[in-house]
Structure formats: C-alpha cells, structure tokens
Amino acid sequence: MREELINAMVELEDDLVLNLVKDQLEKRDPLEIFEDLKTSLIKIGDLFEAEEYFLSDLIIAADTFKEASKLMEPYFTKKQDEVKGKILIGTVEGDMHDIGKNIIITLLRSEGFEVVDLGIDVSATEFLEAVKINHPNIVALSGLLTSSKEPMKKTIELIKKEYKDTEKLIFIVGGVAINEDWIKDIGANYGTTNAINGLKIINDAIKNF
C-alpha cells in the first residue's frame, strides 16, 4: 500500500496519487500518508539533482502534494477550543518552499495553537514587524535551501536585538537540511527536519511558559 503510493508519486502519476490518497485515508493514519508523500518528494529531489528530472517535474510534484493535502486537511480537525499559544511562522528570505511549512501549520492549528502565517520569502524586517504587532510565544522559521541558513540567522539576530520581550520568545527552525550545528550557529532554541517532532518540541516548550 505504502510502496504503491510512493511509486505513483515518484512517477508523477497525479490522478493515481489522489485516488490512492482518498482510498488510504479511510484505512491509514493521515500523518503516515504525509510522510510517504514527503519520502517521494525527497526521491524526486534526488532525481532532479541527478538531472533525471526537470524543474517542471518538481512543480508537478509540488502541485500534486498540495492537492493531496487538501484531501487530508479535514482529518486534522481542531481538538480543543482553548488556545495553547501563539506562533508566528514564515519561510525565510530567498526561499519559496512552503509545503512543509503548511503541514506544520495544519498540525499546530489542529493542536489548538493560534498561527500567524507570513508566507514565503519573508525578510528579517518583515518578521520583526510582525513580532512587534502579534507578540507571539514562538517564532518559527522554515527554510529548505542550504542558503536559508544565513537569512534565518539574520532574522533571529534582528529580533533578539530589536524586540523588548525577547527573553520570553522561543525560536524554532525547520527544514530538510537542518542539523545541530545549524541550530547552534544561528542562535535558535530548537530545530527539526520533521513536522511531527516539531509539534512535540513546541508542545513541550509551551508547557514551560
């Protein structure tokens, strides 16, 4: 079942992927389905890097993933009315990838967090202005390119310098290339390559407020 979905996605068979997702949503954990589609996208990225796939293929795959996400969204309904905390999120400057960001947003909202989404290609100044207006508990930065490390660092540094309530603010970063050194180098509190882990980190961090 899993292999069939992963293969259909890697082969860019969009109609088949959507039919399989519809069918499997009745039988499997939607989070597992997300992870399988993510596995496929990583394979597609590798094929792109190997010059076997083109940019147009990445675009098709991204569109299919977004369509599949729409089918999955109703399965992530809000579990409670009480708001657990406020999270400001965006993809950093120069980076247009937003599929992973949108997944973490869906999960956070279903867990009862209020999420302010700044979108993609968000500059450090735009993040700072949004922090001043929204006073979040957590600032979450997404970035998939290795070149996203610098804008993440710049954003965290600017907010720490210019925002008065910075001691209370938690910074979490997410993206496929993030590791322990990356997190330390940019001055973030936490980082992850995985939305489920990200959700756990945020749930734990919020308890200490």
**Contacting positions for ligand B12 (CB under 6 A):** 38, 41-42, 44-46, 48-49, 55, 58-59, 61-62, 89, 94-101, 103-104, 140, 142, 144-146, 172, 174-177, 192-195, 198
- Residue 144 or residue 186: which is nearer to ligand B12 going by CB? 144
Please report how close the Cβ of residue 113 comes to ligand B12 at its closest, in angstroms: 11
Please report how close the Cβ of residue 146 comes to ligand B12 at its closest, in angstroms: 4
Please report how close the Cβ of residue 71 comes to ligand B12 at its closest, in angstroms: 15
What is the β-pairing status of strands 190-192 and 86-91? unpaired
Give the tokens for residue 106: 């869906």
- Residue 20 or residue 61: which is nearer to ligand B12 going by CB? 61
CA distance 13 to 68: 12
- Residue 20 or residue 72: which is nearer to ligand B12 going by CB? 72
Q: Which H or E element spans position 145? A: none
Q: What b-and-e string marks burial along 156-191, b requiring 16 or more CB atoms within 10 Å of the CB?
A: bebbeeebeeeeebbbbbbbbebeeebbeebebebb
Report the amino acid identity of residue 167: E
State the residue number with the nearest CB to ligand B12.
Answer: 100
Q: Which residue has the tokens 């979905």?
A: 5
Please report how close the Cβ of residue 66 comes to ligand B12 at its closest, in angstroms: 7
